[in-house]
Amino acid sequence: MRVLVVSGIWPPDVGGPASHAPDVAAFLHGRGHDVEVLTTADAQPARQPYPVHWISRAIPKGAIHVRTGLEVARLARGVDVVYTTGMFGRSAGGAALVRTPYVIKLTADPAFERARRRDMVGGDVEQFQRARVGPAICGLRLARDAELRGAAHVLTPSAWLRELAIGWGVPADRVSVLPNPSPPLPNLPPREELRMSFGMEGPTLAFAGRLTAQKSLEVALAAVAANDGVSLLIAGDGDERARLEALAGPTVRFLGAQPRERVVELFHAADASILSSSWENFPHTVVEALAVGTPVLATTTGGVAEVVTDGVNGLLVDPGDTDGLAAAIRRYFADGALRERLRGNAARSVERYAPDRIFADLERALEEAAG
């Protein structure tokens, strides 16, 4: 099978697609499939055993969309199926132009994400579904629906997002839940050694991901500030970083973008991972933290509660509930028995997300789409 993997971000970028797309490409290449990748980047990506084509982000908006769509079409002409984790409009248009089937890995509502980037809406994903909107957002919704309905198959990491996609008119038999896999774990150094390498002293929480409005990190910052002696380490970068650094107290440190291996080490070293997002689907970082035995303190948004069970492998609070998140942090560090129970359950709670199992299901979906 010949596969073109399309991803808007790629290492050293930070974020779920930048982790997922390379893992998929490596798996399919290892299985003997011919794999090519198309991404956008600030500089030429690192060399891989398969071709990685890239388009410079320095190209002006509009022009880069046209350039990327045409490149998808050029590369899709020579493959059996396109697997896209982002840039859905360009992927759908380019693949359709040369009549190559495409499979979408859906991680959010594309119409909502586009509207948020343009400051056209506030609120969260579920509010967006119910909102009465004007012609511009109606256009974004129509584009989303056309992109998804044209796909040979749509994969969603959570049942929550699958139901949304079906509500947008995608036939139910063409939407499947494919959870994000747990990461391949390196041989981790002893936890105390890792804590020293990060300069951790005392109770410490960790966050990793893109620093965007979606993550609502101001909620986490306020919740941490309400707990004396608790530190927070933040790995990642994004357009919210300067604002968040101005809000952060003395117990918060920003580490910047980190390699995935270092993020896994950060989670293993921390006492717990924290996720204060206003909207989410199925964050890679939740699975990564649990896989290395670290409980998660998170909001119940989207599909998070499909992975984190309150009182079993983490603690859950409502989105936007700063006091509730502060109370969860306080409870977690005050109750040693609770911490040990959650930590003991963490790794085994994500055993069902073993990469070989998840990627084998993906491989079958791509083979069916390729015909």
The structure's pTM equals: 0.81
Q: How far is 251 from 237, CA to CA, in rounded Å?
A: 18
> Quick one: pLDDT at residue 121?
85
DSSP 316: E
* Beta carbons of 42 and 22 less than 8 angstroms apart: no
15, pLDDT greater than 80 = no
What average pLDDT does the structure give for the chain?
94
Q: Within 15-134, where are the H helices?
A: 16-30, 63-76, 88-97, 110-117, 125-130
271 token code pair: 């006492």
> Quick one: pLDDT at residue 303?
87
SS3 of residue 352 by DSSP = helix
Q: Give the angle 295-297-302 at the CA atoms, nearest 5°.
A: 110
Q: Can you tell me the mean pLDDT for 110-139?
A: 87
Q: Can you tell me the mean pLDDT for 268-272?
A: 98
Phi, psi of 251 (to 5 degrees): -95, 10
Q: How confident is the model at residue 106 (pLDDT cuts 50, 70, 90)?
A: very high
77 token code pair: 């002409």
Phi, psi of 307 (to 5 degrees): -110, -45
Residue 288 makes CB contacts below 8 A (sequence gap 6+) with 182, 183, 208, 263, 264, 267
Q: How far is 113 from 92, CA to CA, in rounded Å?
A: 17
pLDDT per residue as tens digits for the range 228-256: 999 999 999 999 999 999 999 999 999 99
> Quick one: pLDDT at residue 334?
98
161 token code pair: 């997002």
Write the single-letter amino acid at 217: L
7 token code pair: 């991803």
101, pLDDT greater than 90 = yes
Q: Can you tell me the mean pLDDT for 257-269?
A: 94
Write the single-letter amino acid at 35: V
- Percent of the residues in the chain that have a pLDDT greater than 70, as a whole number: 100
288 token code pair: 């990564």
157 token code pair: 């990491």
Do you find a cis peptide bond into 11, omega within 30 degrees of 0? no
329 token code pair: 């942090």
Write the single-letter amino acid at 190: P
Q: How confident is the model at residue 222 (pLDDT cuts 50, 70, 90)?
A: very high
Q: How far is 39 from 21, CA to CA, in rounded Å?
A: 10
Q: What number of other Cβ atoms are within 10 A of residue 318's Cβ?
A: 10
Domains, in order of start, for the chain: 2-181+354-370 (3.40.50.2000), 191-352 (3.40.50.2000)
3, pLDDT greater than 80 = yes
Q: Can you tell me the mean pLDDT for 162-171?
A: 96
Q: Can you tell me the mean pLDDT for 146-164?
A: 96
